[in-house]
Structures are given as C-alpha cells and as structure tokens.
Amino acid sequence: MRILTQSPAGFILVEPVLRKDSRGSFAETFHHERWRELGVHSEWKQDNHSLSREAGTIRGLHYQLGPAAQTKLVRVVAGAVYDVIVDIRQGSPSFGKWYGFILTAANARQLLVPKGFAHGFCTLVPDTEILYKVDDYYSPAHDRGILWNDPALSIDWPVTEPMLSDKDGKHPPLLTAENDFEWKEHMS
C-alpha cells in the first residue's frame, strides 16, 4: 500500500499495490498491521455496500454523534466518485474545511475518514458501488448530516442539481447542525 496523503487533520489516502497480468488484477485491500503502522487502531465492526444507479447522485454529508461516532475506510469497487470530507471538530484549525478526492474502481484508492469528519460523495458515472468499513455500528439515534450545498462550505461539487434522498436534501448547514465533536491537539 502506498500512502498518497497523510494529513495532519487525520485523514489518510492510500493506493493499494495492484498486481496485473493477463488474467486481470489482484490487490490486497486491507491489512490490519499496515494500518496499525500508520497509527490507525480502529477495530472494524461493520462493512457497508452502497450502489448508486445514476451519475450525479450525492449521498451525504453524513456523520454519527458520539458515542456512536465512526471512523470509515472507503473504497470504490465499481464506477467513480468525487468523495468529500468536512472537518466538523469544533476548535480545529481546519474546522469547516473540506477536502475532495477522486476514488475509482480503476485507481483502487482508499480514504480513511476519521471521527469528527462529515462524509459524502457524488457519483461520476452510473452504477457506482462503494464499500466501506466502519468502527462502530449504524445508530439511527446518532445519525446526523450537513446540507450538501451549505454556502458557508462552498464545496466544489461536480454537479449543481444532484439526485438526492429526501433526508439529504433537508440537512441543516454546518453552523446549526447538531455536533458534539471537539478538537483536541492529540487528535491530529
């Protein structure tokens, strides 16, 4: 696995080694000890699989409040997305800053999204599938979100009129969203 970005904010973008031959390819998509060497000590509890049929679908920006906050390890297995994370840790030097990444089945990149970040993505092609590991279970009582087009964030999405769920279209902006994340220097 090759590290492409290891941010002081806590997220990590990696590219697994892809071994190709006439049959196709092989990649090691997860190795517990290699992630530990990067300082990631998450114990994965649940795998999620998302399929979006239409290009231009936005899912997010999602997060869970404590004590059910989740670290996510995201990868695309079919298609392509513009993946976005937003630092929502109050007091963080990068509070409200967003980061965007192109994740595709072809580039096999994986994004580690730490607790304290909202996460969302926009599909770039039809029939896009994402797999992601989380280190805590889904909890409807702790499920929250931020409006995808919050003007204060000014996220440069690749679409202006996305396909959205009713829920994602009604999230509040960052400054009024319920949020119990606080930045501590040791978090970065």
Which residues are marked as active site?
A: 62, 132
Token reading at 67: 């004590």
End-to-end, the C-alpha distance of the chain in Å comes to: 22
Beta strands in the chain (DSSP E): 2-6, 12-15, 18-21, 24-27, 46-52, 58-64, 72-78, 80-87, 98-104, 110-113, 117-123, 128-134, 143-145
| CA dist., res. 141 & res. 166, Å (int) | 18
Q: Which residues, including other chains, have CB under 8 Å from residue 36's CB and lie 6 or more apart?
A: none
**Max alpha carbon distance in the chain (Å)?**
53
Strand partners, 86: 98, 118
